[in-house]
Each structure stands twice: as C-alpha cells, then as structure tokens.
Amino acid sequence: MSSFYNEDSFSTDCRSRKSPLKIFRSYEVFLSYRGEDTRASFTAHLNASLLNAGINVFKDDDSIYKGARISKSLPEAIEQSRIAVVVFSKHYADSKWCLNELVKIMKCHRAIRQIVLPVFYDVDPLEVRHQKKKFGKAFQNILTMLSNQTQGEGHYKEESSLRMLRRNWTTALHEAAGLAGNESEAIKDIVEKIVRLLDKTHLLVANNPVGVEPRVENMIQLLDEKIPNHTSELLGCYPSNNGKINFN
C-alpha cells in the first residue's frame, strides 16, 4: 500500500516556477479515460478524429514507448500537453490510475493554466461532481478495496494516506466536473472545440469548398502557359498586397 501512496511522479506539483509560455509542450492533447469503458469505442474514435485533424495526441496505449516507466511517462505527458481531455465514464472512478491522472491534471490546470476539457460519456456531470449513482458506486468500490487493504494493526500510516487520497480525488472530481466541457458525446463537436482552443481553425476545411475548383483550373492554365514542355521551373508563392501569386 505505502508504495502506491508514495508515488512521487503523480504527487509532485507541475513546474509552476516556469512561465506557462516557456513550458515545453510535447503534445497538444492528453487523453484520460477508462480503458474498459471506452478504449475500443468512443476514445478510439475520438483519438482517430483528433489525429485526422492534425492534432498531436498522447494516448497511453500507443504513446508510451516500449520499456518506459509508465508511472513516470504519464505524469510527464500530462505536464507537456496543452489540453487534457478527460473522458468520464461509469467505471472511471474505480481506477486509482485514472483518479491519480485526474489529480495531476487539475494540478497542472491550476499551476500552468493547462486547459481541461471534461467529456461525459454515459454519465451526468452532477454524478461525477458529487460522486452519485453509478459513478459514485464505482468510486466507493475503489475506496472500499483500498480500505480493506489497510485493515489490521500497524496500518495507521496507510489509513492516513487513504484519507488524503480520498480528499484529493474528490476535490479533483468536483473541480473537473464543474469546468465548461462537452456534455455532448458528438465527436465532431469535441474535435471542433479543441481545434478552436488550439487556434487551428485553418485546418478545418469544408467537404465541398466553394469557388476552389475554378481557381485551381486557372492555376493549371497559367502553369501551362508559363512553363514550356520538357523543362523544370521553381514555383514560389509569396504574400503580396493584392493577394496574387507571384511566379519565379
């Protein structure tokens, strides 16, 4: 028990001494989720959609390189992500790993202004915030399991640590579920919100952009007129006051 409670990598604070603008960011999005609930379904589709939108994502089962210490890699990945997406599902709270991730995420939210986007998958935000109904039952399951492990003489330190864990977990759940997030499970809406938060709206291209095809045809015609057959030329596009493309 004591080895779990003394997990330094999750318990340490984010590097608040640095300016948020100077923190090295390896990832744009960190996904926190309960594998048995959403790994092969919702989270898999969300991850694929984010990658298709050109967003660099940390997802534990494919971002931790072989042989890495997971307990160290996950907290570092959280600190090095601009946005943390927390997918709350009915069994999220019966995983001490998920709960410790959430505590770390909320520390980074406070210390380095990391953006936290909660997503509620088949659970209500109030259930998460106050640990009620099926979400609350899952949370109680992990507390009961850990409490049973501290029974007997000589476990006062572990019991004290468990009380501290419970306080940290409930605080993180309450804070995270109270943030503005996505009660909608529509992946398209979630991805579009993340793209806006990352200021990557230029990546959102309509399925049938209006007016592009004739411009492409004009470009091809200009190239045919400008470049003789069987020759090679360097084409450069430069900004100009009138918005036209200059040819070299």
Q: Cite the active site residues.
A: 101
Nearest to 135 by CA among 101, 165, 170, 109: 170
Helices (H), the chain: 2-5, 8-11, 35-38, 42-52, 60-63, 70-79, 96-112, 125-130, 133-149, 156-177, 187-197, 212-226
Our measurement of the distance from residue 106's CA atom to the centroid of its chain's CA atoms, rounded to an integer in Å, reads 12
Entry field: residues in the chain: 248
Contact, 169 vs 103, CB < 8 A?
A: yes
Contact, 92 vs 98, CB < 8 A?
A: yes
Our measurement of the distance from residue 186's CA atom to the centroid of its chain's CA atoms, rounded to an integer in Å, reads 16
